[in-house]
Amino acid sequence: MLVHRRATHRVVLGGLLAAPWLTPRTARAAEPLSLVLNWTPTADHAPYYYAKAKGWYAEAGIDLTIEVGRGSAASAQRVAAGAAQLGIVDMATGLLARSKGANIVALMAVYANSPQTFYWLKPSGITGPKDFPGHSIGNPPGDAARAMWPAFARKVGIDPTSVRFVNIAPTAKIQSLRAGAIDITSDFYNEHDLKVQEFGDQLKFLMWRDIGLNTYGNSVFANGDVLAQKPQLVGDFVRVSQRAFAACVADIRPGLAALLAAVSGLSEANQLHQWERIKELMRDPTTVQVALGAYNPDRVAADVELLRAYLPEMQPMPVEQSYSNRFLDHAIRMTAA
């Protein structure tokens, strides 16, 4: 059940209404901008659809195209190649790609906490990650959990080559687990309630953040050349998106209405459950006290060090050039609860 905290929402929305950049930019023709998602659209993408439906991007001079994604690794590649100007990419995946030369920059943290979670069933005999060796993990090839698997494996003290990966579609995770086609699957924590409904007390899971792998999660990344050439356009996108996320935190129902109008096959009840989990993932001291979507420099540096410790392919790079808070409106903050 959604709980509305009216006093907190008045403060957040009051800041939004007072922001001068929200006035329509009638003097500037709309410029095309493409955003590739990390996966198929669900509740965590509702704010983009909401802002587009409300005309907020158009008012800011942005003709936004939203593209369905095929995983964070694939989104990072598309943004780096300039096939999309912006993309939603798992932060660790994006940092790894940048260290290898990808010209991408993180501009807004959607998930301040890692959503990565492994799921399995009690009859498998698995009690925890030490039992993973010899079992199969099912997820799509571009899944961020697969890209970050070596870091997870080394963190828990098992051989990264000790499991077998099985390629499955994002929508086939529950069915594959139920059928025994795979032993373990990875998924974002926002889908947790759906698995509880399906498997009940047979479900076992482990959140990566519970073992100390709490890297930033989904983030808005921009192509570096586009950022250098069109900083106002990119900055306007970031601030409009902040506004949309804050509006959805205040009341997700209009945001979900926009999402469901644009995307078929989604259950409204499931998306409502997802959004409650998403708000948990969005919230940390920096997003509450500094700005919704803001990065803590110490945390980003710690993420890079963690990746360097567990991923041999991670290359040295100037951490401060991999992300930026400068396009965020600091009047827009995440609610404390």
Give the whole-angstrom CA distance, residue 150 versus residue 154: 6
CB 108 within 8 A of CB 241: yes
Task: Give the model confidence (pLDDT) of 231-260 as tens digits.
Answer: 999 999 999 999 999 999 999 999 999 999
Q: What percentage of residues in the chain have a pLDDT greater than 70?
A: 92
Q: What percentage of residues in the chain have a pLDDT greater than 90?
A: 85
Q: Domains in the chain, ordered, with CATH?
A: 6-113+215-321 (3.40.190.10), 116-211 (3.40.190.10)
Q: Which residue has the higher pLDDT, 13 or 307?
A: 307
The pTM assigned to this predicted structure is 0.86
Task: Write the CB contacts of 114 (distance below 8 Å, at least 6 apart in sequence).
Answer: 92, 207, 208, 209, 213, 214, 215, 216, 217
Task: Give the model confidence (pLDDT) of 258-315 as tens digits.
Answer: 999 999 999 999 999 999 999 999 999 999 999 999 999 999 999 999 999 999 999 9
Tell me the pLDDT of the chain averaged across its residues: 91
> What pLDDT score does 28 carry?
62
* Helix 268-282 × helix 192-199 angle, to 10°: 130
Q: Report residue 17 as tokens.
A: 């209404």
pLDDT exceeds cutoff 80 at 10: no
Task: Give the model confidence (pLDDT) of 15-29 as tens digits.
Answer: 343 344 444 444 468
CB 273 within 8 A of CB 194: yes
